[in-house]
Amino acid sequence: MNDIFSAMTNKINIYKRFLLLFSVFVSFSVFAQTENGAEAPKPAKFNAGELIIDHITDSHEWHIAGHLAVPLPVILYSQDKGLSVFASSHLEGGEVYNGYKLNKNEIVAVNADGTTDEVATSKLWDISITKNVASMFVSIVLMLWMFISAAKAYSRNPGKAPKGMQSLLEPLIIFVRDDIAKSAIGEKKYKKYLPFLLTVFFFIWINNMLGLIPFIPGGANLTGNIAVGMTLAIIVFLITIFSANWNYWRHILAMPGVPFGVLFILTPIEIFGMFLKPMVLMIRLFANMLAGHIIALSFFCLIFIFAEMNTGLGYGVAVFSVAFTIFMGMLELLVAFLQAYVFTLLAAMYFGSAIEEHHHEEAHH
């Protein structure tokens, strides 16, 4: 089962790399034409790069359609002004409110003349509820509803066949338990790590799925944010370190059977590899989800890019762009599950390697 998923993941990654390179080529071509071309840029000219960046980055508002957006709470703290709480709509269009303004999705403190106060900005604590944070709260509420509903159904109907939410969750829970936790950690100790593995699997999968929904409460690129991947990777790293037994540390610091002189080369490599593993988790999740959004949006933007050249050409490209965007959407449904599976599997493998007993000790016991 793991080999099948690994082969599918490799093929999808190769395919997505090719499409991402093509998308970057198209974007650079558009930017080069805009900046270096003979024609002056029009005020209402479609900017594909701006649209893509606005979608994949975090924001202080939740865009719905056109100029319609839901403002989100801005929560700031500074030593001079104390706590400031207001709606992000006060900062629309570069407006200054209470001594603050929005500069490229970043809130900065401003002087009386409207210029940025670098000193005050460096001391500013921004704990605002951004689009990614709001999306994370939505996913947490959704997870709580799913699991609490399933738990109540089990308590009401013990021993009966699952139905409703149970029928959705039970196969996935059994899949994570049997094909990930048991196979990577072992029959004896997998239960200790199963709650975390289930949580991280459903958290990534649900947020990946929400990111594919183009309207509220979806549309946020939460798992394509490197901070989210880094946080999950750090948690996996800490669990691995604090779970590690003597056998793990012995293989890291002084591998048995290796000449003493070779350890000066091998030990630093092993220590570097210990930190490299969570970095792989972070980059794999971040890069794959970010690439999927960029590819789909790039091909969708081709419609408007060619429509500016010629209306008929725009309609002609629209047929292929929409078809390919739908195809990418279907592919992203698979990728959303695969990335949750791969992250959870690698985390379980790291846990398993940290608690693995020495073969001689297992034979002795």
Specify which of 282-296, 312-326, 333-347 reaches the highest per-range mean pLDDT: 333-347
In the chain, beta strands by DSSP E: 61-65, 68-71, 73-78, 82-87, 100-103, 106-109, 125-126
- Asked whether residue 42 carries a pLDDT value surpassing 70, the answer given is no
Distance CA 12, CA 8 (A): 6
The answer to which of 7-16, 75-84, 221-230, 286-295 has the lowest mean pLDDT is: 7-16
How, if at all, do strands 73-78 and 82-87 pair? antiparallel
Check residue 146 and report its DSSP letter.
H
CB-CB contact of 212 with 220 (8 Å): no
- Asked whether residue 39 carries a pLDDT value surpassing 50, the answer given is no
Predicted confidence at residue 201, as pLDDT, reads 95
Predicted confidence at residue 271, as pLDDT, reads 87
Specify which of 48-62, 80-94, 294-308 reaches the highest per-range mean pLDDT: 80-94
Distance CA 233, CA 224 (A): 14
- Asked whether residue 326 carries a pLDDT value surpassing 60, the answer given is yes
Question: Counting Cβ atoms within 10 Å, is residue 347 exposed (0-12), middle (13-18) or buried (19+)?
Answer: buried
- Asked whether residue 178 carries a pLDDT value surpassing 60, the answer given is yes
The residue-averaged pLDDT of 195-223 equals 88
Predicted confidence at residue 143, as pLDDT, reads 92
**Total length of the chain:** 365
pLDDT: is 313 or 189 the higher one?
Answer: 189
Predicted confidence at residue 66, as pLDDT, reads 66
The residue-averaged pLDDT of 138-145 equals 93
State the chain's mean pLDDT as an integer.
80
Predicted confidence at residue 23, as pLDDT, reads 47
- Tokens describing residue 227: 């901070």
- Asked whether residue 327 carries a pLDDT value surpassing 80, the answer given is yes
For the chain, give the percent of residues with pLDDT over 70: 85
How many C-beta neighbours within 10 Å does residue 338 have? Answer: 19
Q: What is this structure's pTM? A: 0.79
pLDDT: is 249 or 66 the higher one?
Answer: 249
For 8, the 3-state DSSP assignment is helix
Specify which of 18-22, 87-91, 221-225, 344-348 reaches the highest per-range mean pLDDT: 344-348
Cis preceding linkage at 217, omega within 30: yes
303-307 long-range contacts (CB < 8 A, ≥24 apart) are: 304/46, 304/48, 305/26, 305/30, 305/46, 305/48
